[in-house]
């Protein structure tokens, strides 16, 4: 009997492996293999016309943080690289925060409509996705440039005497990112707000909680899964964004995504590009760990 049982288990586990093998294959080819290539590249030296020379070196990694002096090989902290890393981090954190600030009330508004209207509002939230990202970003450019609609209106109204420089600033990048990624915040937050038991809000109100307290003590803690999901969905693509800083930052305010592209393109320094890519991954992972850990402790405080 025992051997029969073990044969059965063996066949079962074989079937199981067979069933997940297509997915495993995709993951290996699509995610693990390229990542491995990048890790290997980051420890090599750049080839003369792109590509790599198979000479092991830590040079690429050193240059993530330090500049090597051309003449005496001394290392100094790299102002440019740190500035780009810091800008990417700040801009994407600001974007996440602003998306939450705008997205939460929007999601709450939609979740409290009647079911028929909810569908319409949700559809409207996804409308921007129907248009190409480039077109939308160009449209923003047109809105905020010096001769654009906003400046023209303000000038005509006499509120300002000279056009405000909005385009090609960090603010413009942030604005563009918030606009592009806002739906990614609204949708998960909406999903958790929509499941919220309305009775709990009445119960809180019944127990002397003013509207703001109801929001802070009941709605926010209970929609935390949506807030965390939304923040992750906004933070990750915005820290690695490429198009927005080019079109709205004017190429002067580089973000890490542009910097990586530069290394693989004009810079012809694949190992360095690989090292920065991996640095970006590291930053994202650390940020997520901190965020989720923090969210958890807040949850424990509440209960």
Partner 1 sequence: MTGEITPGVAIRLKKVTKTYGSGNGTVAAVKSTTLDIFKNEFFTLLGPSGCGKTTLLRLIGGFEYPTTGTILLDGQDIASVPPFRRPINTVFQNYALFPHMTVAENIGFGLRMLKRSRDEIAARVDEMLKLVRLEHLSGRRTAQISGGQQQRVALARALASEPKVLLLDESLSALDYKLRKEMQMELKSLQAATGITFIFVTHDQEEALTMSDRVAVLSSGEIMQVGTPHEVYNRPANRFVANFVGETNFLQGRGLNPDARGTMIDLQGIGAVAIPTKDTVAPGALVNIVVRPEHLRISPLSQEPATQLTGSVKTVSFCGPETQYTVELSNGSGLLLVRKYNTPDENPSIAVGDQVSVKFTPNTAQVLPG
- Least separation in angstroms between residue 227's CB and partner 1 is 13
* Closest of 276, 262, 270, 271 to residue 42, by C-alpha: 271
What lies within 8 Å, CB to CB, of 17 at 6+ separation is: none
d(CA 247, CA 121): 29
With respect to partner 1, which residue has the nearer C-beta, 167 or 218? 218
Q: Which two tokens mark 15?
A: 């079937």
Long-range contacts, 250-258 (Cβ 8 Å, 24+)? 250/167, 250/168, 252/168, 253/87, 253/168, 253/169, 253/170, 253/173, 254/84, 254/87, 255/84, 255/87, 255/88, 255/91, 255/173, 256/84, 256/85, 256/88, 256/280, 257/88
The answer to whether residue 303 forms part of the interface with partner 1 (CB under 8 A) is yes
With respect to partner 1, which residue has the nearer C-beta, 72 or 206? 206
Contact characters 206-245, partner 1, x per CB under 8 A: xxxxx--x---xx--xx-----------------------
With respect to partner 1, which residue has the nearer C-beta, 3 or 199? 199
106-125 residues in contact with partner 1 (CB under 8 A) are none
Please work out the total of residues on this chain that contact partner 1, with binding judged by CB under 8 A.
Answer: 20
- Least separation in angstroms between residue 197's CB and partner 1 is 7
Q: What is the DSSP string of 62-76?
A: HHHHEEEPTTT--EE
46, β-bridge pairs: 52
Contact characters 271-300, partner 1, x per CB under 8 A: ----------------------------x-
Rg (CA), the chain: 25
With respect to partner 1, which residue has the nearer C-beta, 198 or 252? 198
With respect to partner 1, which residue has the nearer C-beta, 210 or 294? 210
- Least separation in angstroms between residue 218's CB and partner 1 is 6
171-210 residues in contact with partner 1 (CB under 8 A) are 197, 199-200, 202-210
Contact 245, 173 (CB under 8 A): yes
Q: Which residues bind partner 1 (CB under 8 A)?
A: 197, 199-200, 202-210, 213, 217-218, 221-222, 299, 302-303
């Amino acid at each position: 009997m025992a051997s029969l049982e073990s044969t059965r288990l063996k066949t079962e586990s074989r079937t199981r492996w067979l069933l997940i093998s297509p997915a495993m294959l995709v993951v290996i080819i699509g995610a693990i293999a390229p990542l491995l290539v990048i890790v290997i590249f980051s420890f090599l030296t750049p080839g003369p016309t792109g590509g790599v020379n198979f000479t092991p070196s830590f040079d690429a990694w050193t240059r993530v943080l330090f500049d090597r002096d051309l003449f005496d090989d001394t290392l100094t902290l790299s102002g440019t690289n740190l500035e780009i890393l810091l800008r990417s981090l700040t801009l994407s954190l600001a974007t996440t925060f602003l998306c939450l600030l705008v997205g939460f009330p929007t999601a709450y508004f939609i979740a409290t409509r009647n079911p028929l209207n909810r569908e319409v509002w949700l559809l409207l939230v996804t409308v921007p996705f129907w248009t190409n990202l480039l077109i939308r970003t160009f449209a923003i450019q047109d809105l905020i440039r010096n001769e654009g609609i906003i400046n023209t209106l303000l000038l005509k109204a006499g509120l300002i005497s000279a056009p405000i420089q909005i385009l090609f600033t960090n603010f413009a990048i942030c604005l563009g990112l918030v606009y592009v990624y806002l739906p990614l915040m609204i949708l998960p937050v909406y999903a958790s707000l929509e499941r919220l038991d309305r009775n709990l809000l009445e119960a809180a109100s019944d127990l002397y909680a003013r509207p703001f307290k109801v929001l802070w003590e009941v709605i926010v803690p209970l929609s935390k899964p949506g807030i965390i999901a939304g923040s992750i969905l906004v933070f990750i693509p915005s820290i690695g964004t490429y198009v927005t800083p080019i079109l709205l930052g004017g190429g002067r305010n580089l973000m890490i995504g542009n910097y990586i592209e530069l290394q693989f393109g004009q810079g012809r320094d694949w190992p360095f590009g690989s090292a920065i890519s991996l640095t970006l991954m590291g930053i994202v992972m650390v940020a997520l760990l901190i965020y989720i850990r923090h969210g958890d402790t807040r949850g424990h405080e509440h209960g």
